[in-house]
Structure 1
């Protein structure tokens, strides 16, 4: 990886770890202190690596610099009770923080951090926005796309959430079972949105952003690895992530354009990841709970199995259950695709047009696909509307090629 690509990649994967460990280790009541130290660490990396070259272990270098900058902060600033835990005395300048960026410390810190951010005094949507920004490194634009909302709304949510943390004596708590139960839904939704943005990115020139997906899997695996958070829903979400990740190499061609499921080279599917998905899906059904993650994981399971009889009937049944649990335009469109597979394209078109999602690029893409063998002019018209509505360069390229193919016919 080139240096100009490495630092943004490390910022995505390591920044949140540094912030979490600093907050967890010193009970910093002002999140901004940890964020400033982490930001300064990356600024120093950009300056130093440009002159001396990239170190052999870049992540370890970042951790070492962050640790030294933290010591400098405590050594050269007046230590106040509102900034650090009471056990560090303001008149004892020789007291320095002692901590390590071990795998376990990072895992424990991030697990505690994400639950602490999901504070009951913050609205659920704002909790998720804040967690996506702090724990996952999302930009405001990425959060807006994940929520299908505008930038101004996201900015207001973040401002209000950060104000609550500043005014509420924020600190990372040891996980308590009752708090985990009340906050776990928003934690899982945050990780779900993180994975989805990586799986089908709308804010990047890549359709798939494996770094986001890998981070979502890593954080969800931390939850599964903790007895308090190893729940059926968490296992179902992790199963979903592994099933979806198994098809990464088959989802795009050599120039990054999307390949539909039915056209994918199944030999490129990762069977090891499919087996992991199967493992966690089995674990997810220990009990009577059936959540949206169970249903989506089960749908993904059917997509990754050799084509059996009644595959699409099973998938449609699962979508029918899913849409009753939590309606969304994306779920409705996916259900309509499965409906067309079961009942034919003409009935699929009728079902799609009932949705009236005229301002949605995926809606017009679906209609373009369904009309392709029935009415080429209508198909082209819908594809062109989809092109006009998407923000993804890769998606525009893929749809434009489909329009050109139809015109040649």
Structure 2
């Protein structure tokens, strides 16, 4: 019984990550964003009921559909139980929407459209860009506060305050999802792209989850980005460049983790596992993204990913270093600076890279200590071990910890 309960809980955890944001999008489309807490409560109740019911009666044949049905019924009960429908919503719903059962459905097409529409909706200029992204990541992408904090490289309290202010603003303005003008879509697109970028990054390298790679998040981000390229209003150079980046990075997902779940470093990856079809799609979208004169961070990161996907070139690290030099000028970030230092080591040697890295002073960043550990391996094993130990203290994800433990053990021998 204990084993069965563990499997049920594991399944519910997977379903929560995959379906919670989609269910939220559909319910918020029905209620309006000002009632977002109601939608979240209804969905949470559906998952709670699943944990209790499945433990006794077993998992249904289609668990996701079961959750959607329960959430839909709870929403209808809520509308009947209190006068919310008559007093706040009825006037905003067309007569055919009140009668049509399918309008409150959870079909896959409706979910996809609702989710993308909701991301644009919560990226409301009434909130700061960072607050918009935080709200989108929590409500529609299912991120925890800790995951959002890691994405922004900031602390939990800052993120909690941003989320509170963003939700309050939307609630007080009685915000409704409505068709956006072309100008509104264009003004919100940069924030939407940033949201999808962070969604993919959490899937590609999770710092808080026991799974190093969360394929469902990468797939979701790629699906939504592809939808943007299919719409003339959002199909621009940045969108194509972002999708190219996702294709290149996504091509190596299968090779990045061993069967045991441990991370496989780039140099040790089995290139036969790389998805060549995705690499070709990355080439296609990157070429099309470069038709004009625009150069965004997504262009530069996609170009860097291109060279990683084509490792046979003898000059690739010089190209990568030049691209990181440009990227830091366009949009500086600690991660970009650390990645540049790694490329510097491959071009000019570890000694110069150590000097550049230590100037950054990112002592509270696990990636900083991982890089210094790697750079000191060839000159000072003791310092390398010290930095790997500091990185281990700052790392939360189990797969990443296992890699560091192996490094320390090997160096000690």
TM over 0.5: yes
TM-score bracket, normalised by the shorter chain, equals over 0.9
- The question of whether the paired residues in 2 share the 8 Å contact of 1:74 and 1:96 is answered with no
**Structure 1 stretch 63-72 or stretch 300-309: which is displaced more?**
63-72
Q: Distance in 2 between matches of 1:397 and 1:296?
A: 28
Q: Distance in 1 between matches of 2:24 and 2:35?
A: 11
Other-structure match for 2:219:
214
**Which consecutive unaligned segments of at least 5 residues does structure 2 have?**
1-5
Other-structure match for 1:268:
273
TM-fit CA distance, 1:355? 1.7
Structure 1 segment 227-266 matched on structure 2, within 5 A: 227-266=232-271
1:175 alignment partner, one of 171, 177, 180? 180
Change in 2 beyond 3 A, CA 1:167/1:97: farther
Structure 1 segment 65-144 matched on structure 2, within 5 A: 65-80=70-85, 83-87=88-92, 98-99=102-103, 100-144=105-149
Structure 1 segment 5-404 matched on structure 2, within 5 A: 5-25=10-30, 27=32, 29-80=34-85, 83-87=88-92, 98-99=102-103, 100-404=105-409
- The question of whether the paired residues in 1 share the 8 Å contact of 2:251 and 2:279 is answered with yes
Where is the helix percentage greater, Structure 1 or Structure 2? Answer: 2
- The question of whether the paired residues in 2 share the 8 Å contact of 1:28 and 1:84 is answered with no
Q: Distance in 2 between matches of 1:89 and 1:309?
A: 63
Deviations 1:305-362 (A, max 9, x none): 1411211111111111101011011000101111111112222222222222222221
- The question of whether the paired residues in 1 share the 8 Å contact of 2:31 and 2:39 is answered with no
- The question of whether the paired residues in 2 share the 8 Å contact of 1:30 and 1:83 is answered with no
- The question of whether the paired residues in 2 share the 8 Å contact of 1:126 and 1:158 is answered with yes
**Which consecutive unaligned segments of at least 5 residues does structure 1 have?**
none
- Count of equivalent residues: 405
Change in 2 beyond 3 A, CA 1:89/1:182: closer
TM-fit CA distance, 1:59? 2.0
Q: Distance in 1 between matches of 2:395 and 2:373?
A: 14
RMSD: 2.2
Large movers: runs of 4+ above 6 Å: none
TM-fit CA distance, 1:22? 2.3
Q: Distance in 2 between matches of 1:189 and 1:88?
A: 32
- The question of whether the paired residues in 1 share the 8 Å contact of 2:33 and 2:170 is answered with no
TM-fit CA distance, 1:27? 4.2
- The question of whether the paired residues in 2 share the 8 Å contact of 1:242 and 1:276 is answered with yes
Under a length normalisation based on structure 1, what TM-score does the superposition of the two structures give?
A: 0.93
- The question of whether the paired residues in 2 share the 8 Å contact of 1:252 and 1:259 is answered with yes
- The question of whether the paired residues in 1 share the 8 Å contact of 2:42 and 2:75 is answered with yes
Q: Distance in 1 between matches of 2:197 and 2:169?
A: 24
Change in 2 beyond 3 A, CA 1:126/1:407: same
Change in 2 beyond 3 A, CA 1:304/1:82: farther
**Structure 1 stretch 277-286 or stretch 21-30: which is displaced more?**
21-30
Under a length normalisation based on structure 2, what TM-score does the superposition of the two structures give?
A: 0.92
TM-fit CA distance, 1:266? 0.8
